[in-house]
Amino acid sequence: MANHDSNENLAIWFTPEAIRDSFEAAQDERAAWVKAASDATLADIGETCLSYDLVWDAFNEALDLAIDDAMQGAL
């Protein structure tokens, strides 16, 4: 059975802070733009990233199937 201990290394975050953290060490134009961007702008970017994320799509599909199985008593 799966280990249910919390592990933040298994998560992908699309929050403004996570986006800033991703560019923290960079010294290019994009990093400067991210640093100056508002939380609202970065939240919009995060939402856009999420819409492109195939892992998110697969996760939701698998989640729906697992919940359907559980609802039918298969788990």
Block means of pLDDT (10 residues each) for the chain, length 75 residues?
60 92 95 97 95 90 94 82
Task: Quick: pLDDT tens for 22-34.
Answer: 999 999 999 999 9
Planar angle of CA 25, 12, 28, nearest 5 degrees: 25
Q: Is there a contact between 45 and 19 (Cβ–Cβ < 8 Å)?
A: yes
Unique residue bearing structure tokens 């929050």: 15
pLDDT of residue 56: 86
Give the start-to-end residue ranges of the domains of the chain.
14-71
pLDDT of residue 75: 63
pLDDT of residue 1: 39
